[in-house]
Amino acid sequence: MNQKKNKPSRIAMMIFNWYCHPDFREEIEGDLLERFNIYSLKYGYTKANRLFIKEVISLFRPSIVGNIYHLTNTGTMEITNQNKRLITILATALAILLIPLIAMIFTNDVSWKIFDFLVAGVLLIGTGLTLEFILRKIKTLRYRILLGILLFVLLFLIWVELAVGVFGTPFAGS
């Protein structure tokens, strides 16, 4: 409890660390903590924390933020971008599943049952999640491309086997 009372708002500090230019981060973070300690002794924790948040807000200005490109290079933004990519991958998988569904409305040549949609869904979303896993864990471009191609070849082979049965496995389609 005492340890918590010695520290200012973590959220405000995270926001400051996000927007502050890396060149100024150390000195200004130290200034903020020193000011917080002065305020704590003078006014107590609650008011000190309120004044700390006010200072974090007042520091949000061009001279402190500097070049905005550093804002996209932080860990926070990387996580946001990764989540955006995951949503895009999953949305693409669902969009592909919609193709046979829409085709069934216009033609009798396409006739998928619920089980077919289920299997295709598992296959597409599984591929999407594996792709996202590869992109998150593998940082080398060469290996990313290699594993990506391998994944799509595997998806293609399984899809073909389920649809028309090229290899004659027990789950081959006809």
Partner 1 sequence: MSQKALGEFEEIVILIVAILNGDAYSVGIITEIEERLNRNVSLGAIQTVLKRLEKKGLLKSEFGDATNERGGKRKRLYEVTAAGQKILDQTRVQRNSLWEAIPRLSFNLH
Residues of this chain that interact with partner 1 (CB under 8 A) are: 24, 26-35, 37-38, 55, 58-61, 63-64
Instruction: Report in angstroms the alpha-carbon separations of 74 from 21, 32, 70.
Output: 11, 21, 7
In the complex, minimum distance from the CB of residue 30 to partner 1, in angstroms, rounded to a whole number: 3
In the complex, minimum distance from the CB of residue 85 to partner 1, in angstroms, rounded to a whole number: 35
Is 27 or 78 the residue whose CB approaches partner 1 more closely? 27
**Neighbour count for residue 55 (Cβ, 10 Å):** 18
In the complex, minimum distance from the CB of residue 116 to partner 1, in angstroms, rounded to a whole number: 60
Three-state DSSP state, 59? coil
The phi and psi torsions of 156 (rounded to 5 degrees) equal -60, -45
Is 62 or 170 the residue whose CB approaches partner 1 more closely? 62
In the complex, minimum distance from the CB of residue 57 to partner 1, in angstroms, rounded to a whole number: 8
For residues 64 and 20, is the Cβ–Cβ distance under 8 A? yes
In the complex, minimum distance from the CB of residue 71 to partner 1, in angstroms, rounded to a whole number: 18
Is 29 or 116 the residue whose CB approaches partner 1 more closely? 29
Nearest one of 100, 130, 102 to 116, comparing CA atoms: 100
Nearest one of 74, 76, 65 to 24, comparing CA atoms: 65
In angstroms and rounded to an integer, the radius of gyration of the C-alpha atoms of the chain is 27
Is 18 or 159 the residue whose CB approaches partner 1 more closely? 18
Is 60 or 171 the residue whose CB approaches partner 1 more closely? 60
